[in-house]
Amino acid sequence: TLKFKIMSNDNKSIHEFDFNLICEYFSSVERQGPGSPEVTIKALGFIDNLHSNSKIADIGCGTGGQTIVLAENTSGYIAGIDLFPLFINLLSENVKQKRLEGRVKGVVASMEELPFEPEDLDLIWSEGAIYNIGFERGLKEWSNFLKKGGYIAVSEVSWYTEKRPKEIEDFWMDAYPGIDTIPNKIAQMQHAGYVPVASFILPENCWTEHFYAPQPEAEKIFLKKHAGNRLAEEFVANQRHERQLYHQYKDYYGYVFYIGKKI
């Protein structure tokens, strides 16, 4: 089975959790990462090459919160890509309900081996997922699938300041050493062969209202179902710890949308 490395809540040891459990938990909430429909629409506002035959990939789409928003606000074809069949199944159900089957397709695939031809795509979208391959590597590798003049729009956790309190610095360096400041991320985008078109910080409600608010209830149900399962308990403890850190240190980091145009 696939395993996912995550820090235990005592911050000392690293445990491996059964990824199936994590998928089950995250499939019960609205989003699998910070974001909102308003922010997806705002980021789309910087993209000016789309038409009814455009090909769009939403990479690491999860259960497809933003995929549906993309579909409702563009007229092209969208492939929602995620590694986990459970998430893609939920996306496909939503697509059916919204009668978008003609334009949106869920595909189980890895962002490390995308099922596209070179220069196939007009737009690559990825909210809160490029960290899985790494920001710089993802920007470079995915660029091969974009047409010249095509766009990339990704959201990524970033530092707001040059210096940070040790507790939050240590937490993120362990969870995602690729975290960096906004100017450094923009420089990486330029270096990967894009013109950096725009970047903006996601408002706090993308974390509080859309990502964190549904979690306490989801955690209760999850813990009840997996009563006595140490991995489930530790996973929930980690989620709570991460939320508490966000509230304490949100002046120092957050999610940022980066939009670039391939040259």
* For ligand SAM, the closer CB: 160 or 176: 176
CA distance 172 to 176: 5
CB-CB neighbours of 234 under 10 Å: 17
Nearest approach, Cβ of residue 24 and ligand SAM (Å): 12
Tell me the one-letter amino acid at 2. Answer: L
Q: Look up residue 131 and give its two tokens.
A: 């960290």
CA distance 78 to 68: 9
Q: Yes or no: say if 98 and 68 are a contact pair by the CB < 8 Å rule.
A: yes
DSSP string, 207-263: HIIIIITTHHHHHHHHHHHTTT-HHHHHHHHHHHHHHHHHHHHTTTEEEEEEEEEE-
* For ligand SAM, the closer CB: 65 or 150: 65
CA distance 180 to 172: 10
Q: Around 100, how many Cα atoms within 13 Å sit in the side-chain half-sphere?
A: 26
Nearest approach, Cβ of residue 189 and ligand SAM (Å): 19
Where in 93-152 is the site for ligand SAM (CB under 6 A)? 110-112, 127-129, 132
Q: Taking contact as CB under 6 A, which single stretch among the options 76-84, 171-179, 214-222, 250-258 is the one that binds ligand SAM? A: 76-84
Nearest approach, Cβ of residue 60 and ligand SAM (Å): 3
Nearest approach, Cβ of residue 112 and ligand SAM (Å): 6
Among 82, 122, 156, 219, binds ligand SAM (CB under 6 A): 82
Q: Taking contact as CB under 6 A, which single stretch among the options 45-53, 78-86, 146-154, 188-196 is the one that binds ligand SAM? A: 78-86
Nearest approach, Cβ of residue 77 and ligand SAM (Å): 18
User: In the chain, which ranges are continuous DSSP H helix?
Assistant: 19-26, 37-44, 65-73, 85-97, 135-143, 166-175, 182-191, 205-207, 215-225, 230-249
Among 44, 65, 124, 199, binds ligand SAM (CB under 6 A): 65
Report if residue 35 touches ligand SAM, rule: CB under 6 A. Answer: yes
Nearest approach, Cβ of residue 187 and ligand SAM (Å): 24
Among 6, 25, 33, 104, binds ligand SAM (CB under 6 A): 33
Report if residue 232 touches ligand SAM, rule: CB under 6 A. Answer: no
Place of tokens 């508490």: 244
Among 6, 7, 17, 31, binds ligand SAM (CB under 6 A): 31
Report if residue 87 touches ligand SAM, rule: CB under 6 A. Answer: yes
Binding site for ligand SAM (CB under 6 A): 31-33, 35, 60-62, 65-66, 81-84, 87, 110-112, 127-129, 132
